[in-house]
Amino acid sequence: GPVSKLSFDRSIEFRHVGFTYACSSRPALQDVSLIINKGEEIAIVGPSGAGKSTLVNLLLRLHDPAPGTIYMDGIDLRQLQQREYRQLFGVVPQEALLLHSSIRDNIRHGRDELTDDAVERAARRANAHHFISRLPLGYDTLIGDRGVRLSGGERQRVAIARAIANDPAVLILDEATSALDSESERSVQEAVQQFTKHGTAVVIAHRLATVLHADWIAVVAEGRIVDVGPHQELLERCVLYSRLCELQFGDPNEPALAKTMG
């Protein structure tokens, strides 16, 4: 029967992983090999359609790879009890679906076992407590159509609080592509860094600050991993990476930019 796994202890390994969607003739991923060690922050970058979301979806076991295998702590994901495995992850989607409800309900997200204290702790770790405290009714403030409108950065921090509220071992974050003001960007970045002090994070990166802080970056193109390394090394040796950086972040070697991000 399925193996029970309640903790993530060492590493996740993709070994020669491929995947083709049911109605597609072209593989979305091909021969992807990759090791994510516990405690690391990994960024994934690549052009649109490269396979970044597919890679993350396989990690979450929304699909199984074919060919190839993904292991957690040496165990094939296919052997694991699915629901328990999913509990190890907190996911922040690019456009988090916030409910027309209170901030508290939005962070709790149906998990009645989360106490008010746990909700506030998550909000603090997500750098959201400060702005929430300044709202008219604090955590009871309604958001959405009939309530307070949150900025993009505030929405993302509520989504991060929601994702980390049950202390997942691994945080998966699909960064917003729309621009955040620089304070929000710094705040979201700090929340992720605070999480990675203890936890593991896999971020589909659309921001320079994220790739600069990542332990390493996987560059994906046409379903393959083109290169893996830290930002500066990739800038020097990976043409696709430096081109992506230019497109997404402006000139990454420009000293003024490097200074503000560093």
Do 46 and 20 form a contact (C-beta atoms < 8 A)? no
**Contact window for ligand ATP (CB under 6 A) among 46-54, 67-75, 118-126, 195-203:** 46-54
- 75, containing H or E segment: strand 75-76
* Contact (Cβ atoms closer than 8 angstroms) between residue 165 and residue 197: no
Under a CB-based contact definition with an 8 Å cutoff, are residues 122 and 162 in contact?
yes
Amino acid at 49: G
Residue 24 sits in the site that holds ligand ATP (CB under 6 A): yes
Q: Does 52 bind ligand ATP (CB under 6 A)?
A: yes
Measure the CA–CA gap between 216 and 218, rounded to whole angstroms: 7
Q: Which residue from 12, 28, 142, 219 is in contact with ligand ATP, where contact means CB under 6 A?
A: 28
Among 49, 66, 75, 133, binds ligand ATP (CB under 6 A): 49
81 lies in the binding site for ligand ATP (CB under 6 A): no
Q: Of residues 11, 35, 53, 101, which one binds ligand ATP by CB under 6 A?
A: 53
Q: What x-and-dash track marks residues 3-22 binding ligand ATP by CB under 6 A?
A: ------------------x-
Q: Using CB under 6 A, pick the residue from 12, 46, 155, 199 that binds ligand ATP.
A: 46
216-221 and 200-204 as β-strands: parallel, antiparallel, unpaired? Answer: unpaired
Contact call for residue 210 and ligand ATP (CB under 6 A): no
What are the residues facing 200 on neighbouring strands? 170
Does residue 62 touch ligand ATP according to CB under 6 A?
no
DSSP string, 142-204: BBSTTSBPPPHHHHHHHHHHHHHTT--SEEEEE--SS---HHHHHHHHHHHHHHHTTSEEEEE
Verify binding: residue 23, ligand ATP, rule CB under 6 A: yes
Q: How far is the CB of 156 from ligand ATP (least distance, A)?
A: 17
CA distance linking residue 155 with residue 163, whole number of Å? 12
Q: Which residues contact 110 (CB under 8 A, 6 or more apart)?
A: none
Closest approach of Cβ 34 to ligand ATP, in Å? 15
Nearest CB to ligand ATP, comparing residues 50 and 123:
50
Judged by CB under 6 A, the number of residues near ligand ATP is 12
Query: Which residue among 7, 25, 48, 134 contacts ligand ATP (CB under 6 A)?
Result: 48
Among 32, 36, 50, 132, binds ligand ATP (CB under 6 A): 50
Sheet holding 69-72, edge to edge: 29-37, 11-19, 69-72, 75-76
- Site for ligand ATP, rule CB under 6 A: 21, 23-24, 28, 46, 48-54
